[in-house]
Amino acid sequence: MIYKISDNIISPLGYSSEENYENMKKGITKGAFHQGTFHLPEPFYGSLLNWDEVESQFAQLPSNGVRYTRFEKLAILSAHKALEKTQIDPSSKEVLFVLSSTKGNIQLLENLDGFDKNRINMGVSADLLGAYFGNPNPVMVISNACTSGVVAQIYAKEMMEAKGYNYAVVVGADILCKFVVSGFQSFKALSPEQCKPFDLNRRGLNLGEGAATIILQKADVAPAGSLCILGTGNRNDANHISGPSRTGEGLYNAITAAYASGLVEKSSLSFINAHGTATPYNDDMESWAISRSGLEEVYTNSLKGFLGHTLGAAGVLECVISCHALKEGVILPTLGHETKGVVKEMTVNTELRKGNGTSFLKIISGFGGSNAAIIYGIK
């Protein structure tokens, strides 16, 4: 059995999972209008880190003389904060590190800032992450567009099961810069205001930046009350490189694959944490996949209204928050949602409410036709 033993989130809502979770329960968002940021000609609405704060947090970590980029500091800081809550020796070969990111240090393309050009390679950042903690194993980067964070957890689980690793430290991180924001703007994918997942009047997504870490352990029997990974699925739409299948085919197949393990029943679901980016296509597609899976009556939320879409961090970050909510018996609301407006039946959760089940389903989809699903349940 693979189960979660620690976690962390670094975002505009705080520097620990608990702080982020509590702020979401209070309905707090740090989304804001940004004009002139990154020298972009057009403004955007997004959720940005306070980098002075991040730098001062990072400065409190043990120094090894290496100069790190912002992206690397974020990943190291998150992993460090998750590790310090455990007894794990990260320099042990029993520990596997996995890094999830879509663009890593891509801002160096604009200005190398004294770094070598090969620092743009995400594998270099991954190696530096492992080296910071003295870890002897290769650190794989999972860069699978928006699904990276969930696919990285699936990869960690499968590697732990197949190999001798007893622990995995899965770190997801992405930062915003001109490259990323201008691209989403060119796609006309960004909402000019607070995003509205699954809403009739949704106008696109909000971008966000941050990092999140989940530490997994392997054991024959998971301790009572622990959060176990009970099913996973990764399926491609084979439909379009920048648009989801209209009927949610790949996501439906990923959900079906996740339940094929037979370790968990749909009837145990407390809630579904959807991708819910608030783009017209994504949210309609998810409603298709949810209703095709027979889950239209299960409370479903999207956390994008709190922190925006944190890209390679999102799949990890949203699993961490959902784990805390499941453990507390709570279902978080879908901030920004007012009037349901998706093509198929689903139950959008709009208020903070009690949850009854013992599992949640996280779903996520992205460019390249990728879709992923992961089920966590309380043992």
Partner 1 sequence: MAELFIQSAVRITSDQVWVNGEKVNITHEKESAWLTDIYRHLEIQYPKFFKMDNLCKAGFLASEFAMKGTNLEPSEEKRDWSVLLFNRSSSLDNDQNYQKTIADDSNYFPSPAVFVYTLSNIVTGEIAIRNKIMGESCSYIMEKFDETQLYENGLIGLAEGKGIHHLLIGWVEYLDDKCDVLLFHVSTEKDGNTICPWNIIGIKKYFI
- Which residues of this chain interact with partner 1, rule CB under 8 A? 39, 41, 102-104, 106, 109-110, 120-124, 126-127, 138, 140-145, 151, 155, 158-159, 161-163, 178-179, 182-183, 185-188, 234-242, 249-250, 253, 257, 260-261, 366-370
Instruction: Name which of 105 and 194 has its Cβ closer to partner 1.
Output: 105
Q: Of 364, 85, 156, 159, whose CA–CA distance to 251 is shortest?
A: 364
Report in angstroms how near the CB of residue 324 gets to partner 1 at its nearest. Answer: 27
Minimum CB separation of residue 371 from partner 1 in Å reads 9
Residue closer to partner 1 by CB (options 67, 163) is: 163
Q: DSSP readout, 30-44?
A: --EEESSGGG-SS-E
- Least distance CB 102 / partner 1 (angstroms): 6
Which residue, 159 or 330, is less far from partner 1 as judged by CB?
A: 159
Backbone angles phi, psi at 183, to 5 degrees: -65, -45
Nearer to partner 1, 13 or 180 (CB): 180
**DSSP element (H, E) containing 354:** strand 353-354
The full DSSP string for 267-296 is GGEEEEE------HHHHHHHHHHHHHTT-T
Cβ 163 to partner 1 shortest distance, Å: 7
Between 125 and 217, CB nearer to partner 1 = 125
The nearer residue to partner 1, 2 or 321, going by C-beta atoms, is: 2
CB of 182 to partner 1, least distance (A): 5
Measure the CA–CA gap between 28 and 114, rounded to whole angstroms: 38
Residues 6+ apart with CB under 8 A from 271: 298, 299, 300, 301, 322, 325, 326, 331, 349, 355, 357, 360, 361
Question: Tokens 């966000």 label which residue?
Answer: 208
Cα pseudo-dihedral 77, 126, 144, 25, rounded to 10: -10
118 phi and psi angles, rounded to 5 deg: -70, -5
Supply the DSSP symbol for 188. T
* H-run or E-run covering 96: strand 95-100
Decide whether 29 or 234 has the Cβ nearer to partner 1: 234
DSSP code, position 118: G
Minimum CB separation from partner 1 for residue 105, in Å? 10
Residue carrying the six token digits 């003295």: 134
Taking the C-alpha atoms of residue 101 and residue 173, their distance in angstroms, rounded to an integer, is 5
**CB 30, min distance to partner 1, A:** 26
Nearest CB to partner 1, comparing residues 257 and 343: 257
Nearer to partner 1, 66 or 260 (CB): 260
| Cα torsion through 99, 103, 109, 113, rounded to 10 | -40
Q: Report, in Å, the least distance between residue 25 CB and partner 1.
A: 33
CB of 93 to partner 1, least distance (A): 14
Both structure tokens of 309: 């879409």
